[in-house]
């Protein structure tokens, strides 16, 4: 098991304490101030232990071992989310705060642990490493604002997901059927699309395939949010061009982490793609 690490400054927050609120993301300053430099230095020292933690979590079948690992992982992330550092919003800091919320929820009860949680956490840690590379332009993750689309024929589910994402992003757009989705995706680009599978008319797989065929969202990540999660559904997801699948019921903190992963990974990819290619 990973040894518990003392959070920076010697101040450990209660693992079961209140959730750290995520405020709307302000504009980044023209140049990083000292708090951002401190954050990046901390990340450099914690990436190795975080990657080892992820490796162990992905291989931990026993509940007791897994919960002990999560407690150690929480302390690693907690050391990167001091309230002073949050005075300046770096995309990596935003990811750490979202991860801290997910760790807290998973630690509340072993029953909160979802099958997708280890892979989500590991993907977030790898993205954190890329977000903290030197030379990234200030504000690349904010300008233009991250745009999300939530699709579900169930009004309550649609509003629930929209409300969750609105705690950290601008209010997502929403649609209740395939026809609305295709109209929206033909008009404007999105950073991530959260898509239900079972809908009247076109199901989610058909909608995703049509999005992939043409238009400004051919490469936009599509995450299926569904109560269906067997191997056949996952195969269909891959065939139609989907990127991931989140099973209902899901943790609200996990869907925000997943949204950040896909949105920020996409922004990084855009930075590496020559204009007009």
Q: What is the pLDDT of residues 168-189, one digit of tens each?
A: 899 999 999 999 999 999 999 9
Is 70 exceeded by the pLDDT of residue 14? no
Where do you find CATH 3.40.50.2300 in the chain? Answer: 148-272
Cis, bond preceding 3 (omega within 30 deg of 0): no
| Residue 192: both structure tokens together | 């991530």
9 neighbors 38 (Cβ within 8 angstroms): no
Could you tell me what percent of the chain has a pLDDT over 70? Answer: 83
pLDDT in tens, 23-42: 444 444 444 467 778 888 99
H or E element at residue 157: helix 155-166
* Residue 228 to residue 77: CA distance in whole angstroms: 32
Query: Is the pLDDT assigned to residue 16 strictly greater than 90?
Result: no
pLDDT at position 39: 86
- Give CATH 1.20.120 domain extents, the chain: 8-131
Fold of 148-272: Rossmann fold (3.40.50)
Which range is most confident: 18-32, 41-55, 72-86?
41-55
In the sheet that holds 244-247, the strands lie side by side as 173-175, 148-151, 192-195, 222-226, 244-247
At residue 62, the 3 state secondary structure works out as coil
Of 3.30.70, 3.40.50, 1.20.120, 3.30.470, the CATH number of 8-131 is 1.20.120
Contact (Cβ atoms closer than 8 angstroms) between residue 92 and residue 128 = yes
Residue 3, both tokens? 């040894």
How many other CB atoms sit within 10 Å of the CB of residue 101?
Answer: 24
pLDDT in tens, 197-211: 999 889 999 999 999
């Amino acid at each position: 098991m990973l040894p518990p690490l003392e959070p920076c400054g010697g101040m450990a927050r209660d693992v079961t304490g209140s959730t750290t609120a995520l405020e709307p993301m302000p504009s980044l300053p023209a140049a990083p101030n000292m708090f951002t430099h401190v954050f990046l230095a901390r990340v450099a020292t914690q990436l190795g232990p975080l990657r080892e933690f992820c490796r162990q979590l992905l291989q931990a079948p026993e509940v007791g071992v897994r919960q002990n690992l999560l407690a150690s992982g929480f302390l690693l992330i907690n050391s990167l989310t001091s309230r002073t550092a949050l005075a300046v919003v770096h995309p990596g800091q935003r990811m750490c705060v979202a991860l801290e919320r997910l760790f807290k929820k998973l630690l509340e009860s072993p029953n909160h642990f979802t099958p997708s949680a280890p892979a989500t956490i590991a993907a977030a840690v790898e993205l954190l490493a890329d977000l903290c590379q030197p030379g990234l332009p200030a504000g690349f993750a904010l300008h233009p604002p991250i745009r999300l689309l939530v699709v579900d024929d169930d009004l309550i589910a649609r509003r629930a997901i929209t409300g969750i994402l609105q705690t950290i992003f601008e209010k997502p757009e929403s649609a209740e059927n395939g026809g609305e989705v295709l109209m929206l995706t033909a008009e404007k680009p999105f950073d991530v699309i959260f898509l239900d599978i079972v809908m009247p008319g076109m199901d989610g797989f058909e909608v995703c395939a049509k999005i992939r065929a043409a238009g400004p969202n051919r490469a936009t990540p599509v995450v299926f949010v569904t109560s269906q999660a067997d191997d056949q559904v996952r195969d269909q997801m891959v065939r139609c061009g989907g990127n991931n699948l989140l099973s209902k019921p899901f943790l609200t903190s996990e869907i925000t982490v997943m949204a950040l992963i896909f949105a920020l990974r996409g922004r990084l990819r855009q930075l590496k793609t020559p204009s007009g290619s």
